[in-house]
């Protein structure tokens, strides 16, 4: 019961904001429907297509503006994660050479002692 009271106290301002938004949207909707009743179907279609085109254009402009951000992030990933792989390959090769040399030392010493 206490948790429900806390939930209502916390969420009540949020619900009030949503309620105000819903009321404002419904007022705009009523106003828009009143305007649209006087228009022809062709005009309504043209307006709706223009609204969709404007939204698509805005999304396209936003996407193009963020391409440089993605490009810079990709360069950073290459510099930090991919470029050092060459160094790691060199380190791995050198490690294998050292390992083989360490394994060969007793064999070479035994060979020199026997001769």
Q: What is the pLDDT of residues 61-71, one digit of tens each?
A: 999 989 988 99
Region label for 40, one of left (φ > 0), alpha (ψ between -120 and 50) or beta (otherwise): beta
* Phi, psi (degrees; rounded to nearest 5) at 40: -75, 160
Q: What is the Cβ-side half-sphere exposure of residue 52, based on CA atoms within 13 angstroms?
A: 6
Higher pLDDT, 35 or 97: 97
Q: Summarize pLDDT for 29-63 with one digit per residue, the tens.
A: 666 666 667 778 888 889 889 999 999 999 999 99
């Amino acid at each position: 019961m206490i948790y429900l009271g806390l939930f209502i106290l916390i969420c009540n301002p949020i619900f009030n904001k949503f309620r105000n938004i819903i009321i404002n949207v419904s007022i705009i909707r009523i106003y828009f429907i009143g305007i649209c009743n006087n228009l022809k179907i062709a005009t309504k279609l043209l307006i709706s297509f223009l609204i969709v085109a404007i939204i698509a254009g805005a999304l396209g402009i936003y996407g193009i503006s963020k391409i440089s951000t993605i490009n810079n992030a990709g360069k950073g990933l290459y510099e930090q994660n991919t470029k050092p792989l060459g160094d790691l390959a060199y380190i791995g090769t050198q490690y294998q050479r050292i390992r083989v040399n360490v394994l060969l030392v007793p064999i070479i010493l035994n060979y020199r002692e026997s001769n």
